[in-house]
Amino acid sequence: MINTTEITHFTLSPYFDTGAYRYLYFLIILTSYAAIICANLLLIVVICVNRSLHEPMYMFLCSLFVNELYGSTGLFPFLLLQILSDVHTVSVSFCFLQVFCVYTYACVEFINFVVMSYDRYYAICWPLQYKSCMTLKTVTTLISLTWLLPFIMIVVLISLSAPLQLCGNVINKVFCGNYAIIKLACSDTRVHNIFGLIYTFISVIIPLVLILYTYVRILKVCFSGSKQTRQKAVSTCTPHLASILNFFFGCCFQILQSRFDTSGVPNVFGILSSLYFLTCQPLFTPLLYGLKMTKIRIAYSLAFKDYPNVLRAVTGIS
């Protein structure tokens, strides 16, 4: 039996099959990562600089964009290194750090979507009470909980997985996953599986139920309201729903890949599904909100229109 004291690293097997495609994968990921950083950072700056965007909805959006940067930066540099490297190993401590980054990113994303749904629910269903309800204190509390709860849950998850005795060190994924590590365990994992189900229920099922509930209520108000109310609801809610669906499908691919035997599936499919989960959401979200949200488009246009004046003021060049 191999025990945890003897395992100092994990081997990520899918990278061995990249072969001649490694440079193509590298180029795709590098281009995507650069686009993700530019798009999310630009929108964060636009929201922070423009006072007209200092509203609850845009503050929650800012939290979402920060999470996209956190998730992609916690993983993309590692992927780029692994693709070009001939040795596809990762230390045990770094593997758990990666688990922490990926899982907190996913959990924060879902909870952020719930908070945004709650915000839209109050704005559309209770417009007169909206300002008194969504105060700066409330918004700050909601954003703090959005980040704090996932961090606590993932710390508990990792503290349960880290002491496990392992009988192997080969992970059939392009990045470390908690369930992939648990499957290598020699000891009893019933407690870990139960907590894993509880974690999935809290971080995925409950958020989805709450999101569905708020949007059913929003749709009822929209269909019973004026044409202007429907148009406003559609313009603000469409990007949110599209972003939720995109992220949900990406998560489903990862859960299916982790929970079921995929030995008969080509590794290229596993790599591409992982890239979809890691790339499409951080890239799709800022583009979607940047294009669909009128206030962001106006603020973005004004920022670039005033750029020459700002530059002259900073540099002193007339």
Averaged over 16-29, what is the pLDDT? 76
Give the E-state strand segments of the chain in sequence order.
9-12, 89-91, 170-171
Going by their DSSP bridges, the two strands 9-12 and 170-171 should be labelled as parallel
Q: In the prediction, which pLDDT does 307 show?
A: 47
Confidence check: pLDDT of 190 > 80: yes
Distance from C-alpha of 146 to C-alpha of 60, rounded to nearest angstrom: 10
**Which 3 state secondary structure label does DSSP give 186?**
coil
Averaged over 290-304, what is the pLDDT? 63
Structure tokens at 307: 């750029």
Confidence check: pLDDT of 315 > 60: no
Q: In the prediction, which pLDDT does 312 show?
A: 46
Q: In the prediction, which pLDDT does 76 show?
A: 87
Q: Which of 53-62, 142-151, 282-291 has the lowest mean pLDDT?
A: 282-291
Between these two residues, 267 and 37, which has the higher pLDDT value?
37
* CA–CA–CA angle 27, 95, 192 (5° rounding): 130
Distance from C-alpha of 227 to C-alpha of 74, rounded to nearest angstrom: 44
For residue 103, how many other CB atoms are within 10 A of its CB? 20
Highest mean pLDDT among 44-48, 148-152, 174-178, 310-314: 148-152
Residue of 299, 238, 282 lying closest to 102 (CA atoms)? 282
Residue of 244, 164, 160, 172 lying closest to 198 (CA atoms)? 160
Looking up tokens 């909870």 gives 111
How far, in Å, are 31, 76, 80, 81, 282 from residue 27 at the CA level? 6, 12, 9, 12, 17
Q: Are 171 and 10 in contact (CB under 8 A)?
A: yes
Q: In the prediction, which pLDDT does 137 show?
A: 92
Distance from C-alpha of 179 to C-alpha of 192, rounded to nearest angstrom: 9
Give the up-direction half-sphere exposure of residue 318: CA atoms within 13 A in the CB hemisphere: 0
In order of start, what are the domains of the chain with their CATH numbers? 9-315 (1.20.1070.10)
Between these two residues, 151 and 14, which has the higher pLDDT value?
151
% of the chain at pLDDT higher than 90: 16
69-119 pLDDT tens trace = 998 888 888 888 888 887 788 888 899 999 999 899 989 999 999 999 899
Judged by phi (left if over 0) then psi (alpha if -120 to 50, else beta), residue 265 lies in beta
Q: How confident is the model at residue 294 (pLDDT cuts 50, 70, 90)?
A: low
Confidence check: pLDDT of 168 > 80: yes
Between these two residues, 97 and 258, which has the higher pLDDT value?
97
Between these two residues, 294 and 290, which has the higher pLDDT value?
290
Highest mean pLDDT among 66-70, 80-84, 280-284: 66-70
Q: In the prediction, which pLDDT does 311 show?
A: 42
